[in-house]
Structure 1
Amino acid sequence: MHDESTRRLPSQERFPGLRRRGFLAATGAASLGVVALAGCGGGSGPGADESKGDGAPRRGGRLRAAFAGGGASETLDPHLANLFADAARAKALFDKLADYGADLSAQPRLAEKWEANKALDRWQVTLREAAFHDGKPVTAEDVLYSYRRIADPGQAFRAKASLEPIDLDASRATGQRSIEFVLKRPTAEFPNILAAFGAYIVPEGATGFDRKPIGSGPFRFVSFAPGRSAVFRRNDDYWDGAPHLDEIEFVVANEESARVNALLGGQVEYAHELNPATARAHEGKGQIEIVRLRNSAMQGFAMKTDRAPFDDRRVREAFFLIADREELVDGALSGAGVVGNDLFGKGYEYYADGLPQREQDLDRARALLKRAGAEKLKVTLDTSAVAAGFTEAAGVFRDQAKEAGVTIDVKTGSKDSYWSDILDNGALCCYRSGAMPIEAHISQRLLTGSTTNATKWQHKDFDALYQQAQSTKDRTGRAAVYERMQRRLYTEGGFLIWGFADWILGIARNVKGVEENAPANTLDWARFDKVWLT
């Protein structure tokens, strides 16, 4: 356990060599400063349960987890969470009403249950018995305050778009732990809204999250130095069971090499977001463990269907057939992933896995281009170093296209403005997406009014199918509509989805309980309340 009287050590002494490697650790003034053997090692310190066997969870210790961060502008406001580091810290301190399981279906969290009326435009949500860190119960009014705060038009909270279907003026508390949500339209997948990224529940009237945030999560706030460190302590009263760890410390290391060196040097026990080359170099060698979170990131190219040359369906189909997906996975991801089939969400709920796997067919691609009058097509492919594998994928695909008579000019854009630049400009770009339900992918990217419609796929009949799915209470019937939509996208859509990348973590050998079947952004990703040290 933490002892406030223990001498605070400067970061250079606590973590020797970290500054030299570019690793940003906590300064003495900002951190707890306690890195005694009990805090850094296994469960042999105070609070450890010595009766546990080697394979069973042990209680005690502090785990240090290294993430890429956002600098001095970082915040613990959960509604402003944007980076993976933000999301991991928010998950430790706060809860949502629901969260996504490994297949991206909504799983109850603070919501004990939910039930819709026949029209699917009113949902009754019952909260479980849970308390905030100050002992006050989580109530319906806290939920309504949180959602209304997120929906504030004067704020730029990420979950705002996800909450749009809810009429928050008409929604009301029907009891201390029950809420009636009134929706603007039938929404069969309403639980996805409850699980939306950033839709955390905070106490009514809560402000000042960076000074002393109060949530209902598995850890309580201790300290926070933006861009450097955050320390949280076990919440013994957590509704889902107290964490095994005494404390979790999030430290910032923006360079992958810094995170790896800190892990190898024993200065952290968990390193987020390693690249495939690092994984290959260390996997099976015994010094650290490599954990691969499968199907965490969709990788592809976005073709804008509203402009030449991709306003011609034959050209889009030709590009589907130009892609050698195995070569793209090997060349751009160093083999750390699986091939895609031009559909989002492989392995997720509602995924149309009955469609034939698309293979490279250069002869047919050339024939389609000839019929479209695009035999000597030249096109610019926008890419950037903004995401792992983007520039490599662009180079691989350029060479593949050359074999079909297509000349691709690879244009490398700014990392800072890439996503906004490619949303409206250009005709072809590298594209990536983290995990989200297939329904959310459709609603956010493929409807006429979608705000992040990178392929400019705008078809009223497709919009109508989405509304039909959302109005269908029967899951089997709803799945049939989603399959119909995906068949159309497979045939003529604008996303060439060539692969799904692993998300790679590095952990010390004494770290146990890290869930492997947990794509990034899902419930069991960065689930530090279930991790322990041996």
Structure 2
Amino acid sequence: MQVRHPSIKSRLRLLTAFALVPCLTGCFASPGGGSSGGGPSGPRLRVALAFPPAENLSPYGADATLFSRLGVTEGLTALDANGAAAPALARSWRREDDRTWRFTLREATFQDGTDVTPAAVAAALTHAAKARPAPTALAGVTLSAEPDGDSGVRVTTAAPDPVLPMRLAGPSLAILSANAYGKKGERPDAPTPVGTATGPFEITKVNGGGSATLDRHDDYWGGLAHASGIDARFVKDGTARANAIRTGDVDIAEAIPAAQATTLDESILQEAGTTRTTSLQLNTRTGPFKDPEMRAAARTAIDSPALVKGVFEGSADPGAGIFGPAVTWAESKRVKPAGRAKAARPGGASITLATYDNRPELPEVAQVVQQQLRKAGFRVKLEVREYSRLESDALAGKFDAFIGARNSLLDTGDPVGVLGSDYTCDGGYNLARLCDKKVDRAVTEAVRTNGTGERQDAAMAAEAAVLGTDAVVPLAHQQIIAGVSTQVRGVLLDPYERALVGTGTRR
């Protein structure tokens, strides 16, 4: 039976609220997901993912989240359901002074059979700190790490960093064994997570961008996973993923398009809120959008509510800022941008707008944005590619405008993190190529701010500074819709999108 869903949005809002309620077992604190493993060896899980590896399995970039979602990698810490730091490879920590933290390690084993030692952990963090481009979790942060005794690691930052435990939960700061870097560290900038991570599942084979095979890591510190392994397929087409879960070809299919969700039986849909925002990034360094008045013209041309209604079918909210409603404190603290330029007349200015098709709604979003910009007087060429063939060109500024979907709390769990990585002069994921002194000052001030409430206030002031440049136009705040077989239990749909499969996931 096929069921039409007239109220997806209302159910998503309810689930968003539940997703942010504290979990008694630390729902998203590790790949184990808080569910106990150790049961008998169960069937392998068949998973359809939207994104293939895009960076040769580099643990420092976009691929890092892929490993985290499949339960391959872990950091010293993880995030709980409220976004606070929770134990992972470190069982505890304390702040020794403004710039120094000491982390006490639990007993654990790498997938290559070597022990997780203070020396190995310190070396892994040192490699990450030296990587170029820097991992997004370290945007604007300089750190050093050294072993301390039999079970401790001391991490020191160049400037005080009150959210370091949250930062170390970032997928791009996963801890890998010495073997990840080759003999004598011969590949420090290109370590491999294959067989060198600590999570409950180990990558054993990668078939290019088509599929990957993972087996259970039997010495995982969190207990045996129920599933004996994972057969992952990378299926960029959202309709194909929906068809795969409908026909039973896979057990789990992530990122089901809203339009396809309405055609699936309700029993195989799972939904949750997410801190992901779809935005229009404007190239501030070259082309027409180097002019602030032309960026203002693009902003005023966008009708976000109409876009949400037409594309997302109610499973999203109109763009309000970089941080959306799933960041529950953001709206009450939002600051109105000041000093925006007056919109110019586009006068037929020619621009190239790019997006990717791994997230099936984005090409349709781009088509609507293209129509709205054309109506305002721009001439718009649309370019759509698979993400792995698009990212390098986008970061190099080869497009005038770029539409992407970004989880604002993915990298660090700290709202300041995404602002530093995406909108500062030295940001590693600065698609808008923004370099603005006011923005950098606001982000720097937020980085230095202690106290949860005070840091949130500073983050919203920095958000206002970014929005004031019109380098980014928020379009929609999205929801997660996943297809899950009725035979599967324990799928992890966390709002930060770092987890999907854990020790308790089984069929």
TM-score range, shorter chain: 0.7 to 0.9
After the TM superposition, which residues 45-194 of structure 1 pair with which residues of structure 2 at under 5 Å, given as runs? Answer: 60-62=41-43, 63-68=45-50, 70=52, 78=59, 82=63, 85-89=66-70, 91-92=71-72, 94-102=73-81, 104-118=83-97, 120-133=98-111, 137-151=115-129, 159=135, 162=138, 165-168=141-144, 171-194=145-168
Deviation at 1:79, TM superposition (A): 5.6
Corresponding residue number in structure 2 for 1:226:
207
Q: Does the Cα contact within 8 Å between 1:69 and 1:252 map onto a contact in 2? A: yes
Corresponding residue number in structure 2 for 1:329:
308
Distance 1:461 1:71 in 2: 36
Corresponding residue number in structure 1 for 2:505:
531
Distance 1:439 1:178 in 2: 28
Write out per-residue CA displacement over residues 492-523 of structure 1, whole angstroms, 9 at most, x where no aligned residue.
44210110223332111111222344342x2x
- Relative to the length of structure 1, the TM-score reads 0.72
Deviation at 1:337, TM superposition (A): 2.1
Distance 2:194 2:67 in 1: 16
Runs of 4+ in 1 over 6 A off after TM superposition: 71-74, 208-212
Instruction: Pick closer, same or farther for the CA change 1:343–1:102 going to 2, 3 Å.
Output: same
Write out per-residue CA displacement over residues 290-313 of structure 1, whole angstroms, 9 at most, x where no aligned residue.
223432532121123456754565
Corresponding residue number in structure 1 for 2:173:
199
Instruction: Pick closer, same or farther for the CA change 1:69–1:310 going to 2, 3 Å.
Output: closer
Structure index of larger Rg = 1
Corresponding residue number in structure 2 for 1:275:
257
Write out per-residue CA displacement over residues 80-118 of structure 1, whole angstroms, 9 at most, x where no aligned residue.
7717654434x23x3211234455544331122333344
Corresponding residue number in structure 2 for 1:48:
none
Letter in 2 for 1:129: E
Distance 1:181 1:295 in 2: 31
Letter in 2 for 1:432: A
Corresponding residue number in structure 2 for 1:341:
320
Q: Does the Cα contact within 8 Å between 2:333 and 2:460 map onto a contact in 1? A: no
- Relative to the length of structure 2, the TM-score reads 0.75
Deviation at 1:217, TM superposition (A): 1.9
Percent of residue pairs identical: 20
Corresponding residue number in structure 1 for 2:462:
485
Instruction: Pick closer, same or farther for the CA change 1:306–1:114 going to 2, 3 Å.
Output: same
After the TM superposition, which residues 502-513 of structure 1 pair with which residues of structure 2 at under 5 Å, given as runs? Answer: 502-513=479-490
Letter in 2 for 1:82: D
Q: Does the Cα contact within 8 Å between 1:340 and 1:346 map onto a contact in 2? A: no
Corresponding residue number in structure 1 for 2:453:
476
Write out per-residue CA displacement over residues 314-367 of structure 1, whole angstroms, 9 at most, x where no aligned residue.
554454343222221233334432222132454338635444899xxxxxxxxx
Write out per-residue CA displacement over residues 394-427 of structure 1, whole angstroms, 9 at most, x where no aligned residue.
3323433455x43342332554653333442444
Q: Which of 240, 244, 248 lines up with 2:222 in the alignment?
A: 240
Q: Does the Cα contact within 8 Å between 2:252 and 2:482 map onto a contact in 1? A: yes
Instruction: Pick closer, same or farther for the CA change 1:406–1:57 going to 2, 3 Å.
Output: farther
The yes-or-no answer on 1:421 pairing with 2:389 is: no
Distance 1:73 1:419 in 2: 10
The yes-or-no answer on 1:433 pairing with 2:416 is: no
Deviation at 1:526, TM superposition (A): 1.2
Instruction: Pick closer, same or farther for the CA change 1:264–1:373 going to 2, 3 Å.
Output: closer
Instruction: Pick closer, same or farther for the CA change 1:461–1:386 going to 2, 3 Å.
Output: same
Distance 2:505 2:467 in 1: 40
Corresponding residue number in structure 2 for 1:33:
none
Distance 1:212 1:377 in 2: 50
After the TM superposition, which residues 13-52 of structure 1 pair with which residues of structure 2 at under 5 Å, given as runs? Answer: none
Instruction: Pick closer, same or farther for the CA change 1:101–1:298 going to 2, 3 Å.
Output: farther
Q: Does the Cα contact within 8 Å between 2:90 and 2:106 map onto a contact in 1? A: yes
Distance 1:444 1:125 in 2: 25
Write out per-residue CA displacement over residues 46-65 of structure 1, whole angstroms, 9 at most, x where no aligned residue.
xxxxxxxxxx9975521222
Q: Does the Cα contact within 8 Å between 1:74 and 1:226 map onto a contact in 2? A: no
Q: Which has the higher contact order (CA 8 A, sep 6+)?
A: 2
Matched pairs, number: 451
CA RMSD, 1 decimal: 3.8
The yes-or-no answer on 1:409 pairing with 2:360 is: no
Instruction: Pick closer, same or farther for the CA change 1:207–1:381 going to 2, 3 Å.
Output: closer
Structure 2 SS opposite 1:64: strand
Structure 2 SS opposite 1:249: strand
Deviation at 1:230, TM superposition (A): 1.1
Give ranges in structure 2 of 5+ residues lacking alignment.
Answer: 1-36, 183-190
Distance 2:437 2:402 in 1: 25
Deviation at 1:149, TM superposition (A): 3.4
Q: Does the Cα contact within 8 Å between 1:294 and 1:337 map onto a contact in 2? A: no
Deviation at 1:203, TM superposition (A): 2.7
Distance 2:433 2:236 in 1: 34
Letter in 2 for 1:410: K
Q: Does the Cα contact within 8 Å between 2:271 and 2:479 map onto a contact in 1? A: yes
Letter in 1 for 2:367: G
Letter in 2 for 1:176: D
